Structure 1
Amino acid sequence: MRSALSLGYLDGRRAKGTNSLPTWLFISVVVLLVFSAGAVLFGQATGLGLVKQEAGRPVAVRDVIISRGSGDIVVVTDAVSGEMIASYPQDAGGFVRGSLRAFERMRQVAAMPADAAYRIIKWDTGRISLSDTATGERIYLEAFGRDNAAAFAALLDTQGGTRP
């Protein structure tokens, strides 16, 4: 019996060499990697070409508890005084309601208590952030649009917000 190499369709492949990476392509990739690493090191050492975005200092801080009430009503209460700040019925408070769902999911995955406070922070740069005190997660609300950030800024009024 003849071997598979002598059946005809594999005979022609025996004489060919292996496909190799062209030398010029390999050298180009190495040069690009060395240049990129050098540019990053130069930027870190000198500070040239870097874009830094600092959060700034907090101007107002308020800890709130956002919870679901009966009838799928979202209730926002001050964590310190227990005073109800806002109440959103089922068809209102879309962004506050959506943020609550996202943070509830993060808390569930991290096995954290559901009744921990959230922290709303207004920074001196004008940005507003929402932090979860249980998981340590923080989102900057401007990423979701000015109107959505304003929904949480309204919860940070001068009566309940503290000035650090």
Structure 2
Amino acid sequence: MTSALSLGYLDKRRPGKTARIPTPLIVAAIGLLFFATGAVLFGQTTGRGLVRVDNGRAVAVRDIVIGRGTGDVVTVTDARTGERIAAYAKDTGGFVRGSLRAFERMRQISVVPVETPYRLIRWESGHVSLSDTATGERITLEAFGRDNAAAFAALLGNQGGSRP
């Protein structure tokens, strides 16, 4: 009986050189790492090359509680007064329902009670942001388009006057 070495593959194989990463590639990677670190340090110390968004002060703030009822109806209530602000049936309020679903998922991961309010803020610059008071997550809603930001701005109602 013949051994496995004589089947034609392993017996013809010869020990060779091990594959090495080319030295210029390693030097280039280290150089890129140093450049990126230097650029970040330069930007942080001098302020050059940084993009900062100054929204100013908060003009309107409203804490809201979002709940799901029967038939997958999403209700938005004022956390302070308990007043019902809005209700979205199953096929309405697309962006509001979708973004709240993302926040609910973050809350499930962080094990946060559902009754904890969200904070809706209209800034001096006119931007509207939604933040989770429990997890600290905040999103600026204009990033999703003016119409979508306006859907949340409507939940602020007449809080803090009209939009600047």
Counterpart of 1:117 in structure 2 is: 117
Using a 3 Å threshold, how does the CA distance of structure 1 residues 103 and 8 change in structure 2: closer, same or farther?
closer
Counterpart of 2:52 in structure 1 is: 52
**Structure 2: which amino acid aligns with 1:56?**
G
Segments of 5+ residues of structure 1 without an aligned counterpart are none
Using a 3 Å threshold, how does the CA distance of structure 1 residues 89 and 23 change in structure 2: closer, same or farther?
closer
Matched, 1:90 2:90: yes
Matched, 1:62 2:62: yes
Deviation at 1:52, TM superposition (A): 2.1
**Structure 1: which amino acid aligns with 2:12?**
Y
Segments of 5+ residues of structure 2 without an aligned counterpart are none
**Distance in 2 of aligned mates of 1:69 and 1:8:** 72
Matched, 1:132 2:117: no
Count of matched residue pairs: 156
**Distance in 1 of aligned mates of 2:136 and 2:32:** 38
Counterpart of 2:146 in structure 1 is: 146
C-alpha contact (below 8 Å) 1:67/1:74 kept by paired residues: yes
Counterpart of 1:37 in structure 2 is: 37
Q: Decide which moves more: 23-32 or 92-101.
A: 23-32
| 2:87 partner SS | strand
C-alpha contact (below 8 Å) 1:62/1:120 kept by paired residues: yes
Pairing partner for 1:9 from 3, 8, 12: 12
Using a 3 Å threshold, how does the CA distance of structure 1 residues 84 and 18 change in structure 2: closer, same or farther?
closer
**Deviation digits for residues 68-109 of structure 1 (CA, Å, limit 9, x no counterpart):** 223322222211122221222222111222223222222222
| 2:63 partner SS | strand
